[in-house]
Amino acid sequence: MLTEPEIKLLKVKDIHLAGGILVDGFPSVGLANAIASECMVHSQKAELAGVMDSPAFPALSIVRSAMPHFPTRLYVNQELKLAMFVSELNLDPTLFRPVALAMLHWAEESGCSLVISAAGIPQEDDSEVDSQVYAVGSTSRVLKRAAEAGIPPMISGTITGIPAILLNEAFVKNLDVMVLLVGVRKDAPDFRAAAAIAVALSKLVPGALCDVESLIHEAEIIEDSMKKARKDQTASPVREMYG
């Protein structure tokens, strides 16, 4: 029988989050949740409170200002009672479950009343991407909270990865988990979708901020670049190949 990899949560500082919210910022399709979480960390000037590590994680250090950082970090704004996991790791699927369970365990230990995750719904490259954010909840309490924030429910569909495990485990344990869903382009980081997720988070966490305008600006740059690449590709002459 295979044993799940050990996931360690190493505390950097003491925190008090009774009744608070934990946001899962592990990357998913389109990177919308990861980008939104990073944006909120910087906008809130949240403090580093801990790191997540495992022998199964890649040997990686993120260097910023000539200083090392763990690739998976926990930031906290105690005034808002808001905690956010951010990660630069592209996890192997075998790690989804232990990582999700570690986050749920930390949320319970810290007294958080809600865990929020997000998932991208891949759209075709040339199709119109739906920027409407939808919600799925592990309990009726969560769906009511989403409705009060003006976020409609996703009635049917499928969710994969860490968000799926968070939902399923929370359903069994009667814990409150909300997964936000938004359409994303699958071929590039989707800053427009990240902006939509950030706006939804600000509705769910009063006082939470994110520089949404900068995300939209990044989205426009990437979209223009993609349009130009497609145009150049179409205009390129096709050379005949001879044997």
Give 118-151 pLDDT, tens digit per residue: 998 887 665 566 789 999 999 999 999 999 999 9
**Burial (Cβ within 10 Å: 0-12, 13-18, ≥19) of residue 182:** buried
CA-to-CA distance for 138 and 243, rounded, in angstroms?
61
List pLDDT tens digits, range 66-81.
Answer: 999 999 999 999 999 9
* N- to C-terminal Cα separation, the chain: 55
Q: Is 19 left (phi over 0), alpha (psi -120 to 50) or beta?
A: left
Predicted confidence at residue 16, as pLDDT, reads 82
Predicted confidence at residue 54, as pLDDT, reads 95
The CATH classification number of 8-235 equals: 3.40.50.10900
Helix runs in 63-118, H state only: 96-109
Specify the residue for token string 């809600």: 114
CA-to-CA distance for 80 and 21, rounded, in angstroms?
9
Locate the domains of the chain by residue range.
8-235
Predicted confidence at residue 241, as pLDDT, reads 39
| Range with the poorest average pLDDT among 45-49, 131-135, 214-218, 219-223 | 219-223
**Res. 211: pLDDT tops 80:** no
What angle, 0 to 180 degrees and rounded to 10, lies between the N-to-C axes of helices 96-109 and 161-173? 50
Q: Calculate ∠ Cα 5-61-76, nearest 5°.
A: 80
CA-to-CA distance for 91 and 25, rounded, in angstroms?
12
Predicted confidence at residue 39, as pLDDT, reads 82
Give the 3-state secondary structure of residue 180.
Answer: strand
CA-to-CA distance for 185 and 129, rounded, in angstroms?
7
Q: Which residue has the higher pLDDT, 44 or 103?
A: 103
**Res. 239: pLDDT tops 50:** no
Mean pLDDT over 144-164 rounds to 95
| Range with the poorest average pLDDT among 13-22, 37-46, 197-206, 224-233 | 224-233
State both tokens at 35.
């980008």
Q: Which residue has the higher pLDDT, 162 or 222?
A: 162
CA-to-CA distance for 175 and 109, rounded, in angstroms?
13
pTM of the model: 0.85
**Res. 242: pLDDT tops 50:** no
Predicted confidence at residue 216, as pLDDT, reads 74
Which residues are bridge partners to 114 per DSSP?
Answer: 21
Closest CA to 197 of 87, 117, 96: 117
Highest mean predicted confidence (pLDDT) among 95-104, 188-197, 217-226: 95-104
CA-to-CA distance for 5 and 38, rounded, in angstroms?
26
Predicted confidence at residue 127, as pLDDT, reads 58
